[in-house]
Amino acid sequence: MPDPRPPISLADIAAFGPYFDLTTAGTSEEGGWLPASALADDRAVLAQMIDDVAVSLGTRQRWIAASIFYQGWAARLTSIHAASATLCGQVPDLRASLVSFRLRQPGPAELGVSALRTLTPAAGWQALYAHHLGPLATAIRAQVRIGGYLLRGNAGSALAGALSVVSEQRQQPLGSLLRNNWAHPADVAASGRWLRTPEGPRYARATCCGYEQLDRAGRCGDCSLNWHGRR
């Protein structure tokens, strides 16, 4: 029986914005690409990434730099995941062993896969979290004193942000996206919640990523400090 789901169109997904872009073009080391697995496997690569973020933020607090780096990385991955699940009902396999990255300035890192392997949204999240975001969080905590619960909150916040962008770009009510089971993965369920507000659903995370502690920085819209006591 033919699969009724539309094939994944990376061009359609990338149209949502730079955080949604995924390429299947050449990702060789000669072209400046590195395997995403190096972030968790190579201590020096990860340390340099965190240090670079610290410099860009103008801070010596490596835990904040590590937090912001992880949230940005999670945003790239969860954006591709959420858009694919919404448009196609299937997602790319984004486990670290299949993904390569190349830094660019300005803008988020380029992500690529040598071959597009598709999974159901549930299986795709499991591959994404258990074999990419989870090991990366463990590697970060081996270098920086930072809570695992905070990093889970960053992943949950990243997914919530991706869902909000998809909703806005598609002019589709956010509430309709949130009716999908894949929009509430168990790995990050305890790190935040969706609140009902007069303006529609708003995500409230249970932790603070640390960004507001930076000079001239503001408070994120989903920060726990904004929503303390709200139901």
Res 6: pLDDT: 61
User: Burial letters for 43-66: b for 16+ Cβ neighbours within 10 Å, e otherwise?
Assistant: eebbbebbeebbeebebeebbbbb
pTM score, whole prediction: 0.91
Res 227: pLDDT: 58
Spell out the per-residue pLDDT of the chain, length 231, in tens.
Answer: 445 566 788 999 999 999 999 999 877 776 789 999 999 999 999 999 999 999 999 999 999 999 999 999 999 999 999 999 999 999 999 999 999 999 987 788 999 998 899 999 999 999 999 999 999 999 999 999 999 999 999 999 999 999 999 999 999 999 999 999 999 999 999 999 999 988 899 998 888 777 677 777 667 766 666 655 444
Tokens of 33: 């690409």
Tokens of 99: 């993904």
> DSSP labels for 48-98?
HHHHHHHHHHT---HHHHHHHHHHHHHHHHHHHHHHHHHHHS-EE---GGG
Query: Where are the chain's structural domains?
Result: 10-227
Res 230: pLDDT: 47
